[in-house]
Amino acid sequence: MKTSAFSLLLSVAVAACDRPEAAKPIEPAAAEPAAEPAAAPKAEARPRSEAQPASIGAPAPDFALHDLNGKLVRLADFKGKTVVLEWFNPECPFVKASHTKGSLKGLADKHASDASLVWLAINSGGEGRQGHGVEVNRAGVQSFGVEHPVLLDPEGRVGKSYGATNTPHMFVIDAKGTLVYAGAIDNSPDAEGESPSGGALVNYVSQALDELAQGKPVSVPKTKAYGCSVKYHES
């Protein structure tokens, strides 16, 4: 893809992320979420995470969120397993592209038979924001052929506890409960895998999972996420 054409397509995709909220300025794709004052403990996440987002090499913040069927899913239930967290918004064009053409297409299914690995999608979109709501997410799950659970975080507490800024934004937690990767799914910010930086496509999540399976440290523990901004609840 020529540079000029790619730049034009990327700008159109970013604009589409915020189309339902066109009256507001577009949020920077990789902007860091503003820190919130400490709040009283709630079931969705530990209060410590609001003041200081998770960091590589530290324990991953625990959480309990409901899936699209109302089932409560706890990170603590997967102790001893590798967990992949995928920040999700079914109406984000980058999510659509990644699940239908790019590096997320079929990736979770590839690992579905591995009993030592769990894949969870999390939508931290607030009420009234793009991609919010059970039915909207069910439609996205059906459209993309997603088989893994999609968890709803409408207050954004879990998203902010991890420092999730984009959709998709990926996190890998090892079997000891340590956060070992945070960032983009790959190095192709068109989300289609067609314009990788450096020329060769690198799926950072697959690479991290392969290295963990071999007992190796994750060689690229952090990258810059790309995509739509997470549509957090506006207080």
Asked if residue 234 is part of any domain, the answer here is no
**Domain membership flag for residue 235:** no
- Of 92-96, 109-113, 207-211, the poorest mean pLDDT is in 109-113
Q: Of 7-11, 158-162, 192-196, where does mean pLDDT reach its minimum? A: 7-11
Q: For position 51, what pLDDT does the model report?
A: 53
Residue at 208 is within a domain: yes
pLDDT at 43: 38
Total domains present in the chain:
1
In the structure, what pLDDT confidence band is assigned to residue 235 with cuts at 50, 70 and 90?
low
Q: Is residue 14 part of a domain?
A: yes
> In the predicted model, what is the mean pLDDT of residues 50-56?
78
- Mark out the alpha helices in 46-192 (DSSP H runs): 48-51, 93-100, 107-110, 134-144, 157-162
Q: Tell me the two tokens of residue 227.
A: 């995509």
30, 165 contact by CB (below 8 A): yes
Find the mean pLDDT for residues 93-100: 98
Residue 12 pLDDT class (50, 70, 90 cuts): very low
Q: For residue 80, name the pLDDT band (cuts at 50, 70, 90).
A: very high
Residue 232: what pLDDT? 97
User: Which domain CATH number covers 163?
Assistant: 3.40.30.10
- Domain with 62 in it: 3-21+29-34+43-229
Residue 66 lies in a domain: yes
The per-residue b/e assignment along 144-157, b for 16 or more CB within 10 angstroms, e otherwise, is bebebbbbbbbbbb
How much of the chain, in percent, has pLDDT values that exceed 90?
Answer: 77
